[in-house]
Chain A
Amino acid sequence: MGKTIFDKIWDAHVVKKIEDGPSVLYIDKHLIHEVTSPQAFSGMEKRGAPLFRPQQIVATADHNVPTINQHLPIADQLSKFQVDTLIENCKKHGVELYGLGHPYQGIVHVIGPELGITQPGMTIVCGDSHTSTHGAFGSIAFGIGTSEVEMVFASQCVMQTKPKVMRINIEGEIQKGVVSKDIILYIIAKISASGATGYFVEYAGSAIRALSMEARMTICNMSIEMGARGGIIAPDETTYAYMKGRMFAPQGADWENKLAYWKTLFTDADAKFDQEINIDAAQIQPMITYGTNPGMGLSVTGTVPTLESMTDATEKQNFEKAMQYMGLTPGQTLLGMPVQHVFIGSCTNSRIEDFRLVASIIKGKKKDPSVQTLIVPGSQEVAKQIKAEGLDKIFEEAGIPIRQAGCSACLGMNEDKIPAGQYCISTSNRNFEGRQGAGARTLLASPLTAAAALLTGKITDIRTLLN
């Protein structure tokens, strides 16, 4: 029987399988950041054991960093201490750090791919659930906890039970005004926030093949929001074209050798999946979430569900809790509802292509004065490219400042937060209660839908703004 791409990569990385237990899985690349690494470093120090393969680790500071005035010391003392601890730990243990002020600094899932660190066929982990992003390159990439970060420090391995595999086939052409964020929000709304728990998901089909690398990363990024360990897309010419010439991508003969291997990374025709889902790309409309988990999404022109549509008592109770938190009424439409904030950023949608999309909508126009903005490139490199392409001028003319790289308002950990009770259209990945700040009301959407709200101050169907 044939193998899935997931099986091929997994099998090539199993050091040993423990009987009736997990596998010892070898990790090619370990990405770390300031929040989930300090306890792992101190754990190693308590054991008196050196890091096993420090040269396979790359560190950056992203969650805790301010997104303005990065040249100044971090004002929040706890954040500063955590970032300083990372600097100290990296120095002490010989780990490469792209910290604040470094030209490669940025959100860990943005910099890995853009520097060519992320490559097909690799196993990649990070103490961050959105590590699934890197699966867009045909790698097995997944988020781990801090104990597992320590395991990789100790042995360059993690103990993992092999997940089941699911394939989601998306065939056909997407409509104008629909982008990859809508595809993934549509899938999560369809299968729920736990619909892929226990699975690793391969995305396939003509609609996926047609996507750029940035768009593929957005899809793989949100795999975790339906519970999946990770998402993976087989590499192809789009992948190789994106990677070629990047800083840490293979060069010369090494490139040719690796390329030959990468071309073997696809799912065999007779491979079996534990579950398959087929989606017609043409059915997908611009999406938005209305609730407090990413599965609570609908088409931007749709209506919020009603209590009558639910049978289960706990489901009803949870739905009512979400409605109360969001300040919404069952059965209402969202279209035309005012929003006070727009956040464009996060590891889901802060890449150059996202800024190009937004710029294409706001070009020559002015921001609605009622809206406050947080527009945050994913990395220093993205910020540089925004300037190089002149996109910064378009934002400036629209009255929208561009900030500096970091996780920003995705997670209410740094200074960028949404005030309680206010609505934010956000290109990030989670609409959990309090995610963007205590009491903040998050509406997840695509960069296009966010751009529309920049201009109108309301939830808007982007298709009405396209010629």
Chain B
Amino acid sequence: MQSLQKITSRFVPLRIENVDTDQIIPARFLKATTKEGFGKNLFRDWRYENDDESQPKKDFVLNQSQYSGDILVAAKNFGCGSSREHAAWSIQDYGFKVVVSSFFADIFKNNALNNGVLPVTVTDAFLQQIFVQDATATLTVDLEKQTITIDATGASEQFEINAYKKTCMLNGYDDIDYLLSIRNEIEQFEQAKK
């Protein structure tokens, strides 16, 4: 897993609530058997008319050239619906390293963390402050300090992440290495349970 410590970047504002994982990556793209290449289909049906890459929808934020960066900022309840980890893979493959919202669905949050994409939960008020910034504004996300800052105004907020997951993200560790390392303890648990 990629590690992540601190990032300063412009951001892409997605002012839509309840973005479900079917929008992030429609089901017809889930037929792959590898994790690669999902980025080109990220938000596919919001991005293109008639499923055609030569017909980008001009009003969709990923098609507006003034917006770019490693940070996606979305309205509340981001990532609801299906558990498909393909949603996290497509966001990562597109190039986002951080997703900011005032509220994340649980499974998506775990999936993002397991792929080195940092979900940052901010207050509704702070989210609105981000949304009113212009396209050249940058955000700084500092995982060590657990802060997110709007660089132009200096406005800053703390965000929550549990200490274990923070360590994993900072160092690029994954849970599977850890679980493999405690197989003995798990076997003992199984014996005791019988």
User: Could you list which residues of chain A lie within 8 angstroms of chain B, going by C-beta atoms?
Assistant: 12, 15-16, 18-22, 24, 26, 35-36, 38-39, 42-43, 47, 49, 52, 63-64, 76, 78-79, 81-82, 85, 127-129, 143-148, 150-151, 154-157, 159, 161, 163, 193-194, 197-198, 224-225, 227, 229, 293, 295, 314-315, 317-318, 321, 411-413, 430, 432-435, 438
Contacts of B179 in A (CB 8 A): 24, 151, 154-155, 157, 159
CB distance from A349 to the nearest CB of B (A): 18
Q: Are B28 and A412 in contact (CB under 8 A)?
A: yes
Say if the beta carbon of B145 comes within 8 Å of chain A: no
Q: Are B114 and A147 in contact (CB under 8 A)?
A: yes
With contacts A21-B162, A36-B85, A38-B33 taken as known, whether A155 is within 8 angstroms of B23 at the C-beta atoms is no
Question: C-beta contact mask, B163-184 vs A, less than 8 Å → 1, else 0?
Answer: 1110000000011101110110
Nearest A residue to B76, CB-CB: A194
User: Could you list which residues of chain B lie within 8 angstroms of chain A, going by C-beta atoms?
Assistant: 15-18, 20, 22-23, 26-28, 30-35, 45, 51, 75-77, 80-86, 88, 103, 105-107, 110-111, 114-115, 162-165, 174-176, 178-180, 182-183, 185-186, 189-190, 193
Q: Are B176 and A150 in contact (CB under 8 A)?
A: yes
CB distance from B44 to the nearest CB of A (A): 9
Contacts of B76 in A (CB 8 A): 194
Contacts of A39 in B (CB 8 A): 33-35, 85
Contacts of A78 in B (CB 8 A): 31-32
- CB < 8 Å: which of A81, A85, A227 contacts B80? A227
Nearest B residue to A81, CB-CB: B33
- CB < 8 Å: which of A19, A315, A412 contacts B27? A412
With contacts A21-B162, A24-B182 taken as known, whether A127 is within 8 angstroms of B30 at the C-beta atoms is no
- A145 CA to B79 CA in the complex, in Å? 12
A-B contacts, 15 listed (Cβ < 8 Å): A12-B193, A19-B164, A21-B164, A22-B162, A82-B31, A143-B83, A145-B83, A147-B174, A148-B110, A155-B179, A155-B180, A155-B182, A198-B106, A412-B28, A413-B27
- A127 CA to B165 CA in the complex, in Å? 21
Q: Are B22 and A430 in contact (CB under 8 A)?
A: yes
Contacts of B51 in A (CB 8 A): 438
- A295 CA to B81 CA in the complex, in Å? 12
Contacts of A438 in B (CB 8 A): 26, 45, 51
With contacts A197-B103, A413-B30 taken as known, whether A145 is within 8 angstroms of B17 at the C-beta atoms is no
Q: Are B111 and A434 in contact (CB under 8 A)?
A: no
Contacts of B88 in A (CB 8 A): 145
Contacts of A227 in B (CB 8 A): 77, 80, 105-106
- A49 CA to B176 CA in the complex, in Å? 11
Given contacts A36-B83, A145-B88, 5 further A-B contacts (CB under 8 A): A24-B179, A49-B180, A145-B114, A197-B77, A197-B103
Q: Are B164 and A411 in contact (CB under 8 A)?
A: no
Contacts of A81 in B (CB 8 A): 31, 33
- A146 CA to B38 CA in the complex, in Å? 15
Nearest B residue to A21, CB-CB: B164
- CB < 8 Å: which of B27, B77, B83, B175 contacts A159? B175
Nearest B residue to A14, CB-CB: B189
Contacts of B106 in A (CB 8 A): 163, 197-198, 227, 229
- CB < 8 Å: which of B80, B176, B183, B189 contacts A26? B189
- A141 CA to B51 CA in the complex, in Å? 36
Contacts of B110 in A (CB 8 A): 144-145, 148
CB distance from A150 to the nearest CB of B (A): 6
Contacts of B82 in A (CB 8 A): 128-129, 411, 430
Q: Are A128 and B185 in contact (CB under 8 A)?
A: no
Q: Are B77 and A127 in contact (CB under 8 A)?
A: no
Nearest A residue to B16, CB-CB: A318
User: Which of A128, A198, A432 gathers most chain B CB within 10 Å?
Assistant: A432
Contacts of A21 in B (CB 8 A): 162-165
CB distance from B191 to the nearest CB of A (A): 12
Q: Are A161 and B80 in contact (CB under 8 A)?
A: no
With contacts A39-B33, A318-B18, A413-B28 taken as known, whether A194 is within 8 angstroms of B85 at the C-beta atoms is no
With contacts A154-B179, A155-B179, A197-B103 taken as known, whether A35 is within 8 angstroms of B186 at the C-beta atoms is no
Q: Are B175 and A147 in contact (CB under 8 A)?
A: yes
- A200 CA to B91 CA in the complex, in Å? 27
CB distance from B174 to the nearest CB of A (A): 7
Q: Are A434 and B30 in contact (CB under 8 A)?
A: no
- CB < 8 Å: which of A154, A224, A435 contacts B176? A154
Q: Are B23 and A147 in contact (CB under 8 A)?
A: no
Q: Are A194 and B77 in contact (CB under 8 A)?
A: yes
Q: Are B20 and A156 in contact (CB under 8 A)?
A: no
Q: Are B111 and A193 in contact (CB under 8 A)?
A: no
